[in-house]
Structure 1
Amino acid sequence: MEKTRFTEHIRVYGLVQGVGFRPTVWRVAHDCGITGEVRNDGAGVLIMAQAATLAALEQFCAQLITECPPLARIERIERTAQSTVLIAAEFVIASSASTAIRTSIVPDAAPCAACLADIRTAANRRYRYAFTNCTHCGPRLSIVHRLPYDRANTSMAAFALCPHCAAEYANPADRRFHAQPIACANCGPRVWLVDRAGQVLDPADDPMQSASRLLAAGQIVAIKGVGGFQLACAATNDAAVAELRRRKRRPEKPLALMARDLAVIGRYCQLNAEECAALTSSAAPILLLQLRPDAAPLAAALAPEQTTLGMMLPSSPLHHLLLADWAQPLVMTSGNLNDEPPCLRNAEALNRLVTVADALLLHDREIVHRADDSLLRVVAGAPRLLRRARGFAPAPLPLPAGFADAPAVLAFGSELKNTFCLTRDGQAILSPHLGDLGDAGTARAYRQQITEMLALVQHQPEVLAIDLHPDYHASHFGREWASNAELPLINVQHHHAHLAAVLADHGRPRTAGAVLGILLDGLGYGTDGTLWGGEFLIGDYQSYQRVAHLKPVALPGGVQAIREPWRHLYAQLVSAGLWETLRARHPQLPIVRGLLAQPLDLLTQMLARGINAPRTSSAGRLCDAVAAALGAGNERVNYEGQAAIALETLATNALSTAGAGYLLAQVTTPSAIQLDPAPLWTALLNDLAHGVAREHIAARFHIGFSNSIIALSCDLTAQHHLDTVALSGGVWQNRILLETVSTALMKTGLQVLLHRQIPANDGGLSLGQACIAAAQFT
């Protein structure tokens, strides 16, 4: 008599392709006595499971969760009982099925410990092989042409497997079973080193060792990495670092460093447990770390006027092999001229990078999708993303409750630190960091990547969302798209998008009610025609009310005032009614002499007539003006945030001895409360006149600004009966401000929402845009 068999179709959703999930299913099925099959398809993983008891099926599903592979992420499991029983004799892994794409792409992952052991073991057939990987590590997004994630759909399709690799690929018990980038020196990609003319150097030698010798000799080498080219030189060589900066046209922006292991990083930077965990994660990000007081010597020009360094560990076997003999770090910065998108292809690098690099370390595995290095900083006890790219993107983010039935949205993001966002089926796919769209090459790459990502995941947008700013490239593109496709277009105010982004980052339900959002950044276009940036909004995904903000002050010269902070400093002093008195009483102060050397008559006319002098409530510009008053970034800044970062650096070691801070005044106007910085400037100038150290003045600004924000926040939450405060915007990347304000507000009993999975800066803005657009149609 036939024994009773229980049959279920088990659908697994999440990051479950290309991560060794099917071999795990196969192994667990054998452990639990399950027969049937597992296959990939466009939605994820589909299992047909049969067992003698329901308990066995229950155990099977439970073990799938507890024994999930390192790179996999199960979002949900759906089980459907089947009335028709087809008796299977064993459990097998079936071929992938081509169905509509509803699954996601796994980010690229740094080498796992087992693969590192392989390349370091002389007896292993992958000894010193630069493309070693398995289902637990290796390239994913950077090599995939289309889904499902099978070898034929990746740039590895060009490399036929040798018999040894084919046997591993076909063996469910092997960790390389269906590892799509699997290869070895006999059948896979190869590496070679060339000079500027494209001629192969040292063909008989190991190219990584040859490149290492060039680096040790002070030369600059372009390296084809995981998601793009990088430029490397010895971080201890002053002349090499200076020459890299000159050739790359990057005079002051900090350069990232790569070290072979934590021991090397520890000789230069302070490390705690959270920072070690972030560095050694599969994402292998750049991590901002505090320099040790007794740090070993490094080139002086790596991070001018800063006490932090961006450090990372090797992100591929090639990098591990290159750094194997280095007890010091290498500079490892993006392979481009300043502000351009990094090179992806060999021919492109041989055309664009030969003016920068002395030699190029190339390989023949195509980079399909760009993936820059991610950037993190541990703040308030947790890693906070400053740039979400390789290792994190495009892993999907679950949308909060209430968005499951929302239409599919394409949100175009902002002008700076751009990302775009796709939403559907209760998930958001945030693109990797793309950069600043003011560069024509970056703008072209942005348009191309949107088109490619939509095709890759088969996303058909039903609603489009753009920033309210009329002149953003991203907004122009969105308007073009909406017109051509005849789709509804939602214009989203910049700071409302920041608020929605941090709410979504925390999974706050769509109907959870309003919070107080404190949105501090460089600037965003306001509904009143001014440039906002120091905003207190009460709102949710659907709507907001502007209840307070910094007092608007002019930006003489518009964008030029962002590049030259002395301009906004002068406007702040004029707005506070302090300039003429300061000039008369303290003509020898550096701040006065510096401003008098500038064309102040022209600026005075611009301020008086309101010509090319838009008003802004920007917290970022206020920080820049204070920095300029202290001589940090006074004349001209060379990269975004330079002056504010210098100000934070000045303040860091003086907080405990600075004394009372400079408070801003609360002024009630008919439309909203304003935080007026005039008292701040009075106290700051008095300290300058009395010779107070710059470090103490910088610290007093941070203390006073924080306390002013805290006091106003407490007043507003009490007045409007709110229990939650959300912090977003690029100014919250300032460690002093974030930790001081969040700690104080939490001590009052308020819930404080800080970013966790996406950046507080404009890199997270597109998620907020998408959620606001979706909320209007849900």
Structure 2
Amino acid sequence: MASKPSPHVQNDTAKREGFLVEGAVQGVGFRPFVYRLSQELNLTGFVQNTPKGVTIEIEGVPSALESFKEALMKCGPPQARIMRIRSAPIAAMGCHEFVICSSGDEEEHSAIIVPDLGVCDDCRSEMFDRSDRRYRYPFTNCTNCGPRYSIIKELPYDRVNTTMADFVMCDTCRAEYEDPNDRRYHAQPVACPNCGPQLELRNVKGDGFAKGDHALREAAQAVREGKILAVKGLGGFHLVCAAHKKHAVAELRRRKQRPAKPFALMYPSMRDVERDCTVTRAEKDLLVSSAMPIVLLRKNKASAVVSEVAPDNPYLGVMLPYTPLHDLLLAELDFPIVATSGNRANEPICIDEDEVTGTLEGIADLFLVHNRRILNRCDDSIARVGAGGETTLLRRARGHAPMPIILEAQLPAPTLATGGHLKNTVALGLGDRVFLSPHIGDLGTLGGWNAHQHAIDFFCRLYKVNPEAIVHDLHPDYHSTRLAQMSGSRTHSVQHHHAHALSCMAENQLQPPCLAVTWDGAGYGGDGTLWGGEFLKIEAAGFSRAAHFLQFPLPGGDAAALDPKRAALGMLYALEGEDAFKRDIGLGREDTDLIGSALKKAINCPLTSSVGRLFDAVSFLTGSCLHNTFEGQAAMTLEFIADPRVTDAYSFDIAEGVIDWRPMLRAILDECERGVSPSVISARFHRTLAQIILEAAQRSCEDIVLLTGGCFQNALLLELALNALKQAGFKPHTHRLVPANDGGLALGQIMAMTQETS
């Protein structure tokens, strides 16, 4: 790499201009793009990666400079995401050449790491070309694809700062890497079969017995035979089995102790996806985008995928092969596979090939590993396309994180947010940017705590900051709260639903006042009760509780999230008192007596306004879902059975800011006794909730309405609410860039700090 060009005799007609290009501009071929553009326009100067972005100084005649500036914004590399370009005229130097300089290493770091990207068409073609030197090489990549976030140690994004420093490039790879006209110019993970990472197939004891392409073919044969394979991918391991073999899928469920939660699928090609699923144009574009997320698609009746993949679910979570390794494996198999996260229940995804045999002991039969180290775990993103064609992220991870959210206001100081307890992410706020970690998961295990701490340490080390403030949830018993309070830094608590609202405002760049409809399972309200059915008026100085659902006792507290009968009996008790225990709702006498005693004595029965638990109760009372084997199962079941032909709703009352659900519950109980179909009840229930949102919005007198919280992952509820609000002239907003669930809390927690200082 060259040093900056020396000044020469100044040309009187030449002008010089300096640029700082901010955004995802490192590791995507931006410097060679600038180099080639300078050659075309006969310009001189230099381009350099710095911890803030890409710095350019360019010199030449004014007309060429204008053409350069226009092309800089419009014609960049396909994976570049320019957020801002700062420019200023500087004195001409009279340079003779344009050079690409070595990366700068200033103290202040704010450059954006490009997320891990799916394999590009050029690399895929080379990998399947018998005449190419990378034929069947499972770690083929270029500047347009491959690992980024998962392998980086520190900024700037240079090979020495990644785990690819473990591999010395051969002469041929080095020539590609150093040629500005090659698409592998400074592709930091560049490698080939002679100098790069290698595959190995291991048994349950961790002993390797096959290497390279032989390992891949043996692994494919094991999957054909119905075995369960652990595969090391970009950001962690997948557990893989044949999706058309009932016994293999059932065995994976048994071993992973995952009775009903849907498994993700990976298909060999789009043609295979379209055979099994209904795919819209927007869904197809999402599947083949550089992020290549899991996309929820409606399953066709003729699908060969066994029902055990997604029990009682009309959707399949589908992705295409996003690494060369996955491509080669799926080409060998030529049928879809289950590709679920390689972890135990509630643990983070496994990333270490030397630990995986112990971590996944008793689950996987074989382990297909490689020796490219993963530093930063990154699970698969999950997305859905709504009725209007908008993409919603249900889990933000590979392909999206850690891209920042840009704020309109500047943060007063570096700020860390520790997120919530479930679906955890962390965030670091610097200036006008909030960097969100990929999905970490639940913090109820030691593995979850360690992953949470690693994500925090990585962000602070990467951007060389010691946060001056740490923001956390109001709940005193969350691990994320305790971690913040033990840090020794200045801490701030943010109410759970306020953080949801601020998260939605941040990504939509909205200003108060507005009404936030924040519905979820539960969040600590600060008044000793569990909130979850809230209408918050968001103002510049904070929020007020404009309305909420009538509270009811929740026997068992958090335990009710996996036991819908608790919410059902708690609501019935609020409706009928002890007469509720005489109702036959499918509970045995032992359960009724045990829960009933807790309710009568108010033992561990916190009051809640939770709409999430309301979904659970209705699902249980209609017989739709009697047991939650994963959070949200009862609500999902109710959503999926709703009859689209039903257009009427139940009655409800709103008085003095309290939404009284009791008229609705009485009607549901009556219809259950009369044998009305659960699908009809579900449809009316969803429409009632949308009408509640509309009436509460009309009473609030706010034009801007936010729909946020985990309940709005329900596509039917979201569509009904958006349509009702739009037809009435409101301006509704929901989430696109971060999840509506607790995965977006950290962003909202950071935003609370801008409110404090505004």
TM bin (shorter chain): over 0.9
Q: Alpha carbons of 1:50 and 1:318: their partners in 2 closer, same or farther (altered >3 Å)? A: same
1:388-441 deviations in whole A, cap 9, x for unaligned?
001000011111x2x125322111110010011111121110111000111221
- Asked whether 1:354 is paired with 2:361, we answer yes
Question: Which residue is equivalent to 1:709?
Answer: 693
Q: Alpha carbons of 1:560 and 1:582: their partners in 2 closer, same or farther (altered >3 Å)? A: closer
Contact 1:556/1:607, CA 8 A, preserved across alignment: yes
- Asked whether 1:648 is paired with 2:639, we answer yes
Question: Which residue is equivalent to 1:491?
Answer: 493
- Counterpart code for 1:397: I
- Counterpart code for 1:536: F
Tell me which of 301, 304, 308 is aligned to 2:308.
301
Matches within 5 A, 1:469-618: 469-481=475-487, 484-485=488-489, 487=490, 489-508=491-510, 512-540=511-539, 542-577=541-576, 580=579, 583=582, 592=584, 594-618=586-610
Question: Which residue is equivalent to 2:194?
Answer: 186
1:95-123 deviations in whole A, cap 9, x for unaligned?
11111212111100000111111101111
1:233-288 deviations in whole A, cap 9, x for unaligned?
00011111111111112121111110111111112111101111111111111111
SS at match of 2:354: helix
Q: Percent identity?
A: 42
Contact 1:541/1:772, CA 8 A, preserved across alignment: no
- Asked whether 1:330 is paired with 2:352, we answer no
- Asked whether 1:629 is paired with 2:621, we answer yes
- Asked whether 1:73 is paired with 2:72, we answer no
Contact 1:252/1:638, CA 8 A, preserved across alignment: yes
Unpaired runs of at least 5, structure 1: 585-591
CA distance in 2, matches of 1:255, 1:50: 55
SS at match of 1:201: strand
Pick which of 542-551 and 601-610 moved more: 601-610
Question: Which residue is equivalent to 1:21?
Answer: 30
- Asked whether 1:99 is paired with 2:125, we answer no
- Asked whether 1:6 is paired with 2:15, we answer yes
Pick which of 176-185 and 658-667 moved more: 658-667
CA distance in 1, matches of 2:632, 2:135: 44
- Counterpart code for 1:30: Q
- Counterpart code for 1:637: N
CA distance in 1, matches of 2:249, 2:145: 32
CA distance in 1, matches of 2:175, 2:440: 39
Tell me which of 8, 24, 47 is aligned to 1:38.
47
Q: TM-score, normalised by structure 1?
A: 0.94
Q: Give how far 1:579 is off.
A: 7.2
- Counterpart code for 1:148: P
- Asked whether 1:373 is paired with 2:380, we answer yes
Pick which of 592-601 and 378-387 moved more: 592-601
CA distance in 2, matches of 1:231, 1:247: 11
SS at match of 2:519: strand
CA distance in 2, matches of 1:364, 1:647: 45
Contact 1:407/1:777, CA 8 A, preserved across alignment: no
CA distance in 1, matches of 2:412, 2:547: 32
Contact 1:131/1:318, CA 8 A, preserved across alignment: yes
Contact 2:277/2:303, CA 8 A, preserved across alignment: no
CA distance in 2, matches of 1:300, 1:537: 41
1:57-102 deviations in whole A, cap 9, x for unaligned?
222121011111121111111112223x322211111111111212
CA distance in 1, matches of 2:624, 2:580: 23
Contact 2:422/2:441, CA 8 A, preserved across alignment: yes
Q: Alpha carbons of 1:538 and 1:197: their partners in 2 closer, same or farther (altered >3 Å)? A: same
Pick which of 442-451 and 196-205 moved more: 196-205
Contact 1:500/1:541, CA 8 A, preserved across alignment: no
CA distance in 2, matches of 1:203, 1:767: 44
- Counterpart code for 2:579: E
CA RMSD of aligned residues (A): 1.6
Tell me which of 319, 331, 350 is aligned to 1:312.
319
Q: Give how far 1:562 is off.
A: 1.8
Contact 2:690/2:724, CA 8 A, preserved across alignment: no
Q: Give how far 1:32 is off.
A: 1.7
CA distance in 1, matches of 2:342, 2:142: 27
Q: Give how far 1:31 is off.
A: 1.6
CA distance in 2, matches of 1:426, 1:59: 30
Q: Give how far 1:366 is off.
A: 0.3
Q: Give how far 1:581 is off.
A: 7.4
Question: Which residue is equivalent to 2:151?
Answer: 143
- Asked whether 1:274 is paired with 2:258, we answer no
CA distance in 2, matches of 1:192, 1:353: 17
- Counterpart code for 1:424: L
Q: Give how far 1:203 is off.
A: 4.7
Matches within 5 A, 1:695-734: 695-717=679-701, 722-734=702-714
Q: Alpha carbons of 1:10 and 1:566: their partners in 2 closer, same or farther (altered >3 Å)? A: same
Pick which of 762-771 and 460-469 moved more: 460-469
Contact 2:163/2:373, CA 8 A, preserved across alignment: yes
1:146-198 deviations in whole A, cap 9, x for unaligned?
11000011000111111111111010000000000000001100111121123
CA distance in 2, matches of 1:218, 1:444: 34
SS at match of 1:310: strand
SS at match of 2:122: helix
CA distance in 1, matches of 2:213, 2:36: 42
SS at match of 1:594: coil
CA distance in 1, matches of 2:78, 2:362: 41
Tell me which of 132, 137, 143 is aligned to 2:140.
132
Contact 1:144/1:368, CA 8 A, preserved across alignment: yes
Q: Alpha carbons of 1:628 and 1:392: their partners in 2 closer, same or farther (altered >3 Å)? A: same
Q: Give how far 1:354 is off.
A: 3.2
CA distance in 1, matches of 2:633, 2:412: 40
Q: Alpha carbons of 1:143 and 1:581: their partners in 2 closer, same or farther (altered >3 Å)? A: closer
Q: Give how far 1:497 is off.
A: 0.6
The aligned length equals: 747
- Asked whether 1:48 is paired with 2:39, we answer no
Contact 2:521/2:610, CA 8 A, preserved across alignment: yes
Q: TM-score, normalised by structure 2?
A: 0.96
Question: Which residue is equivalent to 1:589?
Answer: none
Pick which of 2-11 and 65-74 moved more: 2-11
- Counterpart code for 2:498: H
Question: Which residue is equivalent to 2:6?
Answer: none
Tell me which of 767, 773, 776 is aligned to 2:747.
767
Q: Alpha carbons of 1:643 and 1:151: their partners in 2 closer, same or farther (altered >3 Å)? A: same
CA distance in 2, matches of 1:760, 1:2: 57
Unpaired runs of at least 5, structure 2: 1-8
Q: Alpha carbons of 1:627 and 1:204: their partners in 2 closer, same or farther (altered >3 Å)? A: closer
CA distance in 1, matches of 2:432, 2:560: 42
Q: Alpha carbons of 1:277 and 1:578: their partners in 2 closer, same or farther (altered >3 Å)? A: farther
Contact 1:409/1:770, CA 8 A, preserved across alignment: yes
SS at match of 2:461: helix
Q: Alpha carbons of 1:204 and 1:137: their partners in 2 closer, same or farther (altered >3 Å)? A: closer
Q: Give how far 1:498 is off.
A: 0.7
Pick which of 204-213 and 245-254 moved more: 204-213
Q: Alpha carbons of 1:581 and 1:355: their partners in 2 closer, same or farther (altered >3 Å)? A: closer
CA distance in 2, matches of 1:74, 1:12: 7
1:518-562 deviations in whole A, cap 9, x for unaligned?
001001111221100000011145311101011011111112222
- Asked whether 1:677 is paired with 2:661, we answer yes
